[in-house]
Amino acid sequence: MSIKPNDFFDLDSEFSEEERMVRDTVARFVDEQALPVIPDAFEEHRFPNELIPGLAELGVLGSSIEGYDCPGLNAICYGLICQELERGDSGLRSFVSVQSSLVMWPIWAYGTEEQKRRWLPALHRAEAIGCFGLTESQGGSDPANMRTHAKKDGGDWVINGSKMWITNGSIADVAVIWARTDEGIRGFLVEKGTKGYETRDILRKMSLRASITSELYLDNVRIPEENRLPGAEGLKGPLGCLSQARYGISWGAIGAAIACFDEANEFSKNRVLFDRPLAETQTIQRRLADMARRITLARLLSLRLGKLKDAGKMKPDQVSMAKWNNVRMALDISRDARDILGASGITTEYCPIRHMLNLESVITYEGTETVHELIVGKAVTGASAF
Ligand code: TGC
Ligand code: FAD
């Protein structure tokens, strides 16, 4: 069999039949339902809500959760889901990452039985949408410095503060809110419609335009003790969620890179300049070969990470290296692919510029590139530079 440019080492054969089936089902959804609407949604600066029922039907919301009507798929399946969704658009993968890793996962890992029964089946079926409020305006990289606080008042908690840059904020039925208390950082479930809880969308984004990003305001928001996540204590509560989401992003970035690489490769075969296709020039071949090399290395990294996760051995530092490497790889490839397309590359008729702009968010959220470099630096040297 000949070598596949975007799967140079035939990693496809490493996946089980179930893993391939999950990947191919999501890939079909992306090709047939998402890609026809995504470029317009990106230009119109709107999340394509019309895709939500299809995503729910695919079973990709909380796909790794065991029980509560969820499929309990393994980590490789979750990775492949993220890869295929982000081959469509980072906004689509973001929607699923937040719902699965940042809302369903903490409810599953830290919540009470009642919270799990109430929310997990509904979130899986998209009858409810969730968001994750950790970042604040004074600096997302340093969440320990959060100002949002919750005070105990009888059997209730009263929360005051604000959150910034929150994916799905204004469409969320439930927000996982992280707040400082007298005992340290704790997590709370705040429902839409609770008095004092308001959201406002952040507009004029040039990145992740097919995704909703909001500010959250909490003004004396009173919620009962039953809405606290009892299993989350300290900063490791929210950081534990981030490990889940960053894992998915490491796979997702591969999808965005593949989309850009495939388009540049195809374009170079058809674009004839100086009497020969671009693909027959040494410089273009070197650039495309380098993309294939970097995609291959990222695939190997995420596959290994997935195996470690499924074996219960994945370390947050390893997740950081994979998120850092793979998002940087995808961002560089998207920019290079954009350039190979010449002027055509600046239009959304082709995907690289959309992916490139999206990846500017992906390299910032879930820990900036610098934050991940410093996490790896700490693991390598044993000294914290934070
Ligand atoms: P540090 O002292 O290092 O850690 C505090 C405690 O947490 C533990 N820990 C982790 N636990 C689980 N998973 C991880 N990834 C963990 N990282 C650290 C750690 O062991 C410690 O535990 P203990 O028992 O000793 O208390 O904390 P620090 O304040 O020095 O901060 C470290 C730093 C900078 C790495 C951390 O603050 C960080 O990761 N900052 C980046 C913040 C970030 O990524 N925010 C993302 C917000 S959510 C988002 O962007 C969603 S985008 C979604 C989308 O649309 O897809
Ligand atoms: P800052 O933390 O202010 O960083 C500014 C710069 O300083 C960066 O370049 C950073 O790398 C650098 N820097 C930081 N620390 C150091 C250091 N020690 N040494 C050297 N340089 C350093 N957050 C949520 O909680 N929930 C969400 O759903 C969510 N969705 C998002 C969606 C989008 C589209 C975006 C763009 C962001 C989202 N975020 C969300 C917020 C995201 O996590 C933060 O933007 C991110 O953590 C960085 O925080 P900041 O933007 O405040 O940058």
pLDDT in tens, 201-257: 999 999 999 999 999 999 999 999 999 999 999 999 999 999 999 999 999 999 999
- pLDDT category at 97 given cuts 50, 70, 90 is very high
167 lines ligand 1 (CB under 6 A): yes
Tell me, what DSSP letter sits at residue 4?
A: B
For residue 1, pLDDT beyond 80: no
Q: What is the pLDDT of residues 170-201, one digit of tens each?
A: 999 999 999 999 999 999 999 999 999 999 99
242 lines ligand 1 (CB under 6 A): yes
Which protein residue has the closest C-alpha to ligand 1 atom 8?
A: 236
Between the CA of 53 and the centroid of ligand 2 the distance, in Å, is 31
**Which residue type is seen at 21?**
M
Contact status, residue 127 vs residue 241, Cβ threshold 8 Å? no
The ligand placed nearest to the CA atom of residue 206 is 2
Between the CA of 336 and the centroid of ligand 2 the distance, in Å, is 25
140 lines ligand 1 (CB under 6 A): yes
Q: What is the pLDDT of residues 330-363, one digit of tens each?
A: 999 999 999 999 999 999 999 999 999 999 999 9
The ligand 2 atom nearest the CA atom of 371 = 11
43 lines ligand 1 (CB under 6 A): no
Q: Which domains does the chain have, with CATH numbers?
A: 11-124 (1.10.540.10), 130-233 (2.40.110.10), 236-381 (1.20.140.10)
Neighbours of 50 (CB within 10 A): 11
Average pLDDT of the residues of the chain: 98
Cα–Cα distance list, 256 to 24, 208, 232, 263, 333 (Å): 16, 13, 33, 11, 9
Per the structure block, which two tokens stand in for 252? 């997702």
Closest alpha carbon to 372 in 141, 83, 137, 96: 141
Euclidean distance between the first and final Cα of the chain, in Å?
A: 49
368 lines ligand 2 (CB under 6 A): yes
- Annotated catalytic residues are 366
Contacts of residue 28, defined as CB under 8 A and 6 or more positions apart, other chains included, come to none
The ligand 2 atom nearest the CA atom of 142 = 2
Which protein residue has the closest C-alpha to ligand 1 atom 20?
A: 236
Q: What is the pLDDT of residues 22-33, one digit of tens each?
A: 999 999 999 999
The ligand placed nearest to the CA atom of residue 375 is 1
Q: What is the pLDDT of residues 276-323, one digit of tens each?
A: 999 999 999 999 999 999 999 999 999 999 999 999 999 999 999 999
The ligand 1 atom nearest the CA atom of 97 = 56
214 lines ligand 1 (CB under 6 A): no
Distance CA 333, CA 337 (A): 6
98 lines ligand 1 (CB under 6 A): yes
pTM comes to 0.98
Tell me, what DSSP letter sits at residue 3?
A: P
Q: What is the pLDDT of residues 116-159, one digit of tens each?
A: 999 999 999 999 999 999 999 999 999 999 999 999 999 999 99
Between the CA of 118 and the centroid of ligand 2 the distance, in Å, is 32
For the chain, where are the alpha helices, taking DSSP H only? 17-29, 38-44, 52-58, 75-88, 90-97, 105-110, 113-124, 236-270, 282-310, 316-340, 352-362, 369-381
Closest alpha carbon to 97 in 130, 58, 133: 130
Between the CA of 9 and the centroid of ligand 2 the distance, in Å, is 35
Secondary structure in 3-state letters for 198-231: EEEECCCCCCCCCCCEEEEEEEEEEEEHHHECCC
Between the CA of 361 and the centroid of ligand 1 the distance, in Å, is 18
Which protein residue has the closest C-alpha to ligand 1 atom 12?
A: 240
Between the CA of 67 and the centroid of ligand 1 the distance, in Å, is 27
Which protein residue has the closest C-alpha to ligand 2 atom 20?
A: 370
Q: Coil, strand, or helix at residue 185?
A: strand
Per the structure block, which two tokens stand in for 349? 């008729």
Bridge partners (DSSP) of residue 273 are 276
